[in-house]
Structure 1
Amino acid sequence: MNFDKSCPVPIPPLLNDPEIELYTDEPVFDPDIHLSMTEPDFIVLRDGFQHVPKAPQLCQPVAANGDSQLAYTGPFRLLSDEGYRVLRMILEREMAHRQCDDRHPAMIRLSGYRSKWIQDFNRCPRILEHLSNLTGDIRLLPTTLQSSYSHVNIGYAGGPNIDSYHCDSVPYVLILLACDMTNTVGGELQLIERDPKDALNLIEQYKGQVPNEYIRTIDYLGQNSCVFMQGSRIVHRVKGIHSCTEPRITVVNSYMSTNPFAAESTRYDTFRHEKPAALEYTLHKTWRANAKILDLAVGGHGWPTNDQVIERLSMAIDELSQCRDILTNTTSDKIGYYDEKKQKMAYYDTPAVALKDTEN
């Protein structure tokens, strides 16, 4: 019994941390004002990483595991000039919340708890529809991990890689360039066009210095342009900056399939040191469990047999049991990243720390 795409799937709820106040001096997100969406000239498929001129249309419905053909897109625009101006205004204020960890020399998290504009930007139905069309066959929702709404990566001249080789801990990501890189040397987003296991083997074989013949460098259209990719299925990194006239800033929005039977690509371990992580991940697994039963109840299926009802109930129980086991460290969903200094895979063993204003 395949997932019925016409089944109404609830959008994950917004959380309110009583210790974090929403900004009150920002405009209301208005898609008529803040969006000016364009199409990429091409997309790249996971099968052989072949380039095609537009999103593929499948002759068969989505597979039960919810896989998409999409690897990544060419660059395109999402925000209007005014939307980009508002985003930059919010980012300037968010710089007070910069932090770093062993993987990221500078980043910003939890913007989705401080900004209503950021919340609406990540949850905008028009954007969801636009990005869904780019997958060719997958309907998308914002990630259940609100702390990952508009995650920000920041790179400064002379620093290490802005991000290490890794696969994302959320299924799909939209990466928006929020700076002018005209005079920047370095800072390239690079992908390895291989199955993740093969890509990691290459990284280990060459001790992080993978030859250019295996690497695809992603070009943007300049500031306020973006690319969309199935980041959980592609190993990628962002190189360090040799010189620049302003910091390299990217804003990363995260998405997932409405199909609760899609292979699980949302990870707890990557974010486990953050205060919201346990509740957000529990809501995620609860969402998957609920959506699996909801599909049986209101999808376009015939009346289910007792065995089918029990099967869905078992699926829901499995989701919640896995959540409990991960939260209690009985099992783990860690995927880690490649630490070029140590020349081996590393994991998120220590929490992020705040960056001081003098630290670039």
Structure 2
Amino acid sequence: MIDAPALHLPFEKLETDVAWDPERHIEITPPEQVVLLEEWGPEAAGPTALSPVAITGPFRFLSDEGAESLRAICTKLEGYATGMERIPKKLRGSIYRSAFLRGMAFDPTILAFLSELAQVRLEPHPVQHHAVHINYAPDDLSLNVDQWHHDAVAFDYVLFASDPRGMQGGRFEYYAGPVEEGRHLLLAGEQLPPEKVRSPEFPAAGWAVLQQGHRVLHRACKLEERHPRITVVNSFWAPVPGVDDPTDLPTMLKIDGREIALTEWSRFQARVAAHRLEHFAATRTDFSRPLPELQADLRQIAAALAEAADAFDRDEEGSLIDYGAGS
């Protein structure tokens, strides 16, 4: 078991877990396509994009043995799944329960491959509840697996742990246009233009797409008949100097609860501050800069940490990014 004081009880680790072995579990097949944000128009990147990439076509990084181990582990973990309004059946914090999932999330070979696809350096997300989030098929077939939304993380992959072949419905869809444009249509009760809604074809279990999740509007549709649909969403941090990361506290408060959220938030903010200080020390501390500028930079970093600490004093419920089921 992993001691987790913030939960008032330990995470129970799987008794029949599998040790992560990159020699046996990794097999990389690159995507045939990488879609750039500029292909969706000049507004698609916005001021917050961390790279030019929007989303890739399907790719593979798990061997057959790796994919089968992932499916088996996710199936065993389903008993811990819970639901909420936007996501009827999901599991968070999976890497605290499985060494295989932790190894997959932190593997340097996979990270290097994904960073090349993303065109920016990706790191395991400091909010480890964002690592290996698992979505399961809802018990109620009238519900989407997940509603239209954009993510509160820089990049993530959507990986089919189950075999999508023969599945009726349950498709992963994304809007091929600016997030703000699609959000405006959905919030106005309008239909997204069908020609702008895309759905990748996943050949089998173990295949994934990588997306710059905060700049891609997407959903997972409802199933038309029962199918053991399981997808893994693994999130990443892309520390780019001068660009704020989209990770937010309200999402974590709502989905994970106050004690988990603030623990994870403190780790994330510590990593962000450390990165900013390292960048400041390496690039901003030459003798040509006036002292007031140095002081202002340091105070800005300190103010962000103070704001993060102040969140502990606020009693906030949080909220999820949710633009509804669509049509």
Shift of 1:304: 7.1
The CA RMSD measured in Å over matched residues stands at 2.7
2:201 counterpart of 1:214? no
Shift in Å, 1:257: 0.7
Aligned to 1:109: 92
Aligned position for 1:281: 265
Which residue in the other structure is 1:290 paired with?
A: 274
Q: Is 1:148 the equivalent of 2:130?
A: yes
Separation of aligned partners in 2, 1:77 and 1:304: 49
Aligned pair count reads: 312
Q: Is the 8 A contact 2:146 2:219 kept in 1?
A: yes
Q: Does 1:320 align with 2:283?
A: no
TM-score if structure 1 supplies the norm length?
Answer: 0.79
Residue 251 of structure 1 is matched in structure 2 by 232
Paired residue for 2:44?
none
1:28 to 7, 19, 22: 19
How far has the Cα of 1:219 moved from its partner? 2.0
Please tell me whether the aligned partners of residues 66 and 261 of structure 1 are also in contact (alpha carbons under 8 angstroms). Answer: no
Shift of 1:174: 0.9
Q: In the alignment, is the contact (CA less than 8 A) between 2:164 and 2:202 conserved in 1?
A: no
Instruction: Give the structure 1 partner of residue 324 of structure 2.
Output: 339
Q: Structure 1 residue 37: deviation in Å?
A: 1.2
- 1:266 paired with 2:247, answer yes
- After the TM superposition, which residues 125-136 of structure 1 pair with which residues of structure 2 at under 5 Å, given as runs? 125-136=108-119
Matched letter for residue 59 of structure 2:
F
How far apart are the structure 2 equivalents of 1:264 and 1:332? 22
How far 1:21 sits from its partner (Å)? 3.9
1:1-360 to 2 correspondence within 5 Å?
A: 17=4, 19-23=10-14, 25-49=16-40, 67-136=50-119, 138-156=120-138, 158-207=141-190, 209-244=191-226, 246-259=227-240, 261-273=242-254, 274=256, 275-298=259-282, 302=286, 305=289, 306-329=291-314, 336-340=321-325
Distance (whole Å) between structure 1 residues aligned to residue 321 and residue 159 of structure 2: 23
Equivalent residue of 1:339, what SS?
coil
* CA drift at 1:210: 2.5
Where does structure 2 lack aligned partners over 5 or more consecutive residues?
Answer: 42-46
SS in structure 1 of the partner of residue 50 of structure 2: coil
Give how far 1:317 is off.
Answer: 1.4
Question: Residues 194 and 330 of structure 1: is their aligned pair in 2 closer, same or farther, counting only changes over 3 Å?
Answer: farther
- Aligned residue for 1:131, secondary structure, equals helix
Inter-partner Cα distance in structure 2 for 1:65 and 1:191: 19
Structure 1 residue 280, shift from structure 2 partner: 0.6
Maintained 8 Å contact 1:268/1:281: yes
Per-residue deviation, 1:221: 2.2
Q: C-alpha separation between the residues in 2 aligned to 1:100 and 1:260?
A: 36
**Which protein is richer in helix relative to its size?**
2
- Asked if 1 retains the 8 angstrom alpha-carbon contact of 2:164 and 2:203, the reply is no
**Between 146-155 and 315-324, the greater mean CA deviation after superposition:** 315-324
Distance in structure 1 (CA, Å) of the matches to 2:195 and 2:29:
31
Cα deviation 1:253-283 (Å, max 9, x = unaligned): 0001133533220011112142411011111
Contact 2:158-2:210 at 8 Å conserved across structures: yes
